[in-house]
Amino acid sequence: MLMSLVILSVVLQTELISGDQNGNIRVWDLTANSCSCELVPEVDTAVRSLTVMWDGSMVVAANNHGTCYVWRLMRGTQTMTNFEPLHKLQAHSGYILKCLLSPEFCEPHRYLATASSDCTVKIWNVDGFTLEKTLIGHQRWVWDCVFSVDGAYLITASSDTTARLWSMSNGEDIRVYQGHHKATVCCALHDGAEPSTC
């Protein structure tokens, strides 16, 4: 179900990056209160999710055609951010509802998780954008996902009313959380773990 306008955003230093249902991605300079850059990777294709690498070096946009667009972020003149096209990834056959880059403490392994209406979550190695594993278990759309602080686990939320805890090492679900009577559409994790090397 689509809203009349879908805007997803993330703050990057003094900039806000937003994506909308018409397929526009805009970078807003919060200091100047103006749009400093506009990208349209696919016209009239809703941008469902945006994620930025923890060090600000990369941004990924995911859309309704199951495609991820990846740009390298580079600082240009007058603190303006330049987007250098890096990769186009056909990740899913259905909508991508969430894309998420792994946290800082997962270095040197860098991953991109994509959650989809095809009921799967895929884990991509950012170095080359190769498919590492496909997480299979949900029976309906997977709306959201979040990495643990050390990148060793992933939590997912689905329309099948469950949330699942996955091991990143083997791609198996460790635990299924049940109790909701309607779709589970978002999740958050405060694991309190000390960061460790993945």
pLDDT digits (tens, 9 = 90+) for 99-152: 999 998 776 779 999 999 999 999 999 999 999 999 999 999 999 999 999 999
- pLDDT value of position 120: 98
- pLDDT value of position 8: 47
Domain range spanning residue 60?
8-146
Using alpha carbons, select from 79, 151, 87 the residue that is nearest to residue 113. 151
Neighbouring C-beta atoms of residue 140, cutoff 10 Å: 14
Q: Which of 30-34, 44-48, 126-130, 184-188 has the lowest mean pLDDT?
A: 30-34
Evaluate whether residue 140 is within a structural domain: yes
For the chain, the first-to-last Cα distance in angstroms comes to 37
Q: For the chain, what is the domain count?
A: 1
- pLDDT value of position 11: 44
pLDDT digits (tens, 9 = 90+) for 142-155: 999 999 999 999 99
- pLDDT value of position 105: 77
What's the order of all strands across the beta sheet hosting 47-52? 47-52, 58-63, 67-75, 81-90
- pLDDT value of position 6: 46
Evaluate whether residue 173 is within a structural domain: no
**Percentage of the chain exceeding pLDDT 70:** 86
Q: Which CATH number do you get for residue 66?
A: 2.130.10.10
Evaluate whether residue 174 is within a structural domain: no
17-20: long-range contacts, CB 8 A cutoff, minimum separation 24? 17/50, 17/52, 17/59, 18/50, 19/47, 19/48, 19/49, 19/50, 19/61, 20/46, 20/47
Evaluate whether residue 3 is within a structural domain: no
Evaluate whether residue 188 is within a structural domain: no
Checking if the pLDDT of 171 tops 50, the result is yes
Evaluate whether residue 185 is within a structural domain: no
Evaluate whether residue 131 is within a structural domain: yes
Both structure tokens of 159 = 């329309």
Evaluate whether residue 57 is within a structural domain: yes
pLDDT digits (tens, 9 = 90+) for 58-99: 999 999 999 999 999 887 655 556 889 999 999 999 999 999
